[in-house]
Amino acid sequence: MEIPRIGLDVVVIEGAEPGDLRKGPGHWPETPAPGMGGNFVLSGHRTTFGAPYLKLDKLEEGDEIRVLLPYAALSYEVTRKLVVLPDETEVVAQRGIEEISLTTCEPIYSAKQRLIIQAELSDFVLLEKAAPAQESPGA
């Protein structure tokens, strides 16, 4: 995942349990993968374990979030920024649109609330499958 405005370029891992998030932003397994028709939810840390989401609060409407997968390159445009209580998970519920939601603690150095950045799909490019390697003559 890349977010040019805040200089973020990270590998996303599968899983959003505390042990998972030590490795980087993690995909909530109960949410669809990008491009599969729904809300792709990722959680990450702001102050520990590399602090991938340290500057997430700097994002504004219209900023780009890019996700590169083996099968597609997706771009999302930030549409809203929310601050909610930890139990207000309905804000990341499936809404019938292709979007990404990034979640982290708010304010910085506290788990009192959650900062949610949501972005809708703006571009989707299927990637061509790489051609098999050719054997060199005499090999």
3-state DSSP of the chain: CEEHHHCEECCCEECCCHHHHCCCCEECCCCCCCCCCCEEEEECCCCCCCCCCCCHHHCCCCCEEEEECCCEEEEEEEEEEEEECCCCHHHHCCCCCCEEEEEEEECCCCCCEEEEEEEEEEEEEECCCCCCCCCCCCC
Confidence band, pLDDT 50/70/90 cuts, at residue 128: confident
Given the residues 78, 92, 105, 117, select the one marked as catalytic. Answer: 105
Domain ranges of the chain: 2-126
pLDDT digits (tens, 9 = 90+) for 58-110: 999 999 999 999 889 999 999 999 999 999 999 999 999 999 999 999 999 88
Enumerate residues 6+ apart whose C-beta is below 8 A from 42: 1, 12, 16, 25, 26, 27, 28, 100, 101, 102, 103
Catalytic: 105?
Answer: yes
pLDDT of amino acid 121? 96
Q: Taking residues 41-54, what's their average pLDDT?
A: 93
Per CATH, the homologous superfamily of domain 2-126 is Sortase (2.40.260.10)
Q: Which of 45, 74, 76, 101 is catalytic?
A: 45
Q: Is 46 a catalytic residue?
A: no
Instruction: Output the six-digit token pair for 11.
Output: 């590998």
